[in-house]
Amino acid sequence: MTAIQINGLGLVGGFGCGQQALLGALEKGEVSPVAVALRDHHIPLLQADSAPLENFLNKRALRRIDHFSRLALLGAFQALEDAAQPALDKSRLGLVLASGFGPLTTTFDFLDSVIEDGDICASPTAFSNSVHNAAAAHISMQLQITGPNLTISQFDQSLAAGLLSAWQGLAEERVDAVLLGVVDEYCPVLGHCWEKFCEIPGAQRMTPLDFSRMTGIVGEGAAFFLLQRETPIPARYGRINSVKVGNLCGSKPQLEIVRPLILGCEGLLNNGATYGQYVANGQPVACYSPLYGASPVSPAFDLAVAALSLQRGLLFPSSDDGGDYYQGGVIRETRPCSALGCLRFGNDGEYAVIHLSRGDL
C-alpha cells in the first residue's frame, strides 16, 4: 500500500468547532486566548468548547461524560458526518485514539477523591472516565463502531504513532477504514506545571518562529480523520504518502527542500532551536500553532491544515510571519499547494515527518 486517503475531518479547538472555524482562523491569522483562573491570577488558554456536541447527543446521554471524552466525541461525530458515507460498515471500521496526556481533569479528580475520602469512598465514575481508553469506549458505544479499538499515548508523537497503527490495519486489510483521533485537554495541574517548568510570563500572542523566547500558550482540543485505502476515486483531503519517525540520536529527518513544510514548533525554547538546526534556510515553511496553542494535539491540527490546503489547492500564510527573527523562507502569502509535509520535533530528540499530496496526483 503506497498511500492512505483522508476522506473526513472533525475538529474542535481554541479556534472554534469545525472546518469553517479553522478556515476562518487561518484567513484571519490569529485567535485570541481566554484568561482562566489559576490560584490567585489568570493564565491565557486556547480553550476548546465541547457544547456543540449537543447537536449530536442529548443531555441525558452526556451527563456522566467528562470534557475530554466530549471533545473526542465531538471530533468523531463531525468526521463521520463530513465523510458522508452512510454505507460504511462499522464492523469493518477501526478506531484509533491518540493522546499525549489523557483525561487529566478526571484523573486528578479521582486522585483527589482518594486522598480526601480514602480508597473506599473514591469516586467510581471518576475512575471509569480516568482511564485513557474511556474516550474510545464512549465513541464506540455512541457511534456503534464495532471494529478494532486502540488507544495510544506517546506524548509529542501520539499522532505519528496513531497514523502508523492505522496504516498497518489498512495495509493488512483488517479494516476498510480507520477513524483516527487525537485529543488532549487543559487542567489546572497542567497550568501549574506550565508556569513552573516553562516559565512563560503570560504571553498573549505566540511567536513560535522566534526560537530565542518562550511564547507558548497552552491549547486543547480534538482532531479526527477518516482514513481509507487508496481507490480510483480521488481523496477528499489529499493522501498521506509516508509517515517517518526517528530520533536525532541515530538519524535525522529527510526533508524535500522544494516542498513546503508545516513546522510543529510551539514557542518553547527546549525544542524550538532544533527546527532552526535541521530546517534549511531555503525551505518554505509555515507555522499555525498560534491558532490552537501548544499541546500534544497540535500536530493533528497541523495535519488538518495540510489536508484543508490540499483540498483547496492553496497553502495559507503562516500565522507567525517570522518577523525579524527568522531568516528562513516563511510563507507570508497564499500560494498554490499540491504537496507538502508536516514536521514535529519532540523534547527528547524524537521526530516525525508526514508527507502528503493531493488525491488526484
pLDDT number for residue 360: 59
pTM to 2 decimal places: 0.96
* Distance from C-alpha of 171 to C-alpha of 173, rounded to nearest angstrom: 5
Q: What's 289's DSSP letter? A: G
Of 311, 341, 313, nearest in space to 240 by CA: 341
Per-residue model confidence as pLDDT tens digits over 93-124: 999 999 999 999 999 999 998 998 888 888 88
Contacts of 190 (CB under 8 A, 6+ apart): 101, 104, 218
* Distance from C-alpha of 327 to C-alpha of 183, rounded to nearest angstrom: 33
* Distance from C-alpha of 76 to C-alpha of 97, rounded to nearest angstrom: 10
Residues of the chain with pLDDT under 70: 199-203, 359-361
pLDDT number for residue 322: 87
Alpha-carbon distances of 159 from 65, 98, 156, 264, 299, rounded to whole Å: 24, 6, 8, 12, 7
Helix (H, G, I), strand (E, B) or coil at 275: helix
Contacts of 307 (CB under 8 A, 6+ apart): 6, 9, 225, 237, 238, 356
* Distance from C-alpha of 51 to C-alpha of 235, rounded to nearest angstrom: 30
* Distance from C-alpha of 195 to C-alpha of 239, rounded to nearest angstrom: 39
The residue assigned the cell 482562566 is: 36
Helix (H, G, I), strand (E, B) or coil at 6: strand
Per-residue model confidence as pLDDT tens digits over 250-283: 999 988 877 899 999 998 877 788 998 899 888 8
Of 140, 191, 141, nearest in space to 294 by CA: 191
The number of residues making up the chain comes to: 361
Contacts of 186 (CB under 8 A, 6+ apart): 36, 45, 47, 104, 218, 219, 220, 295
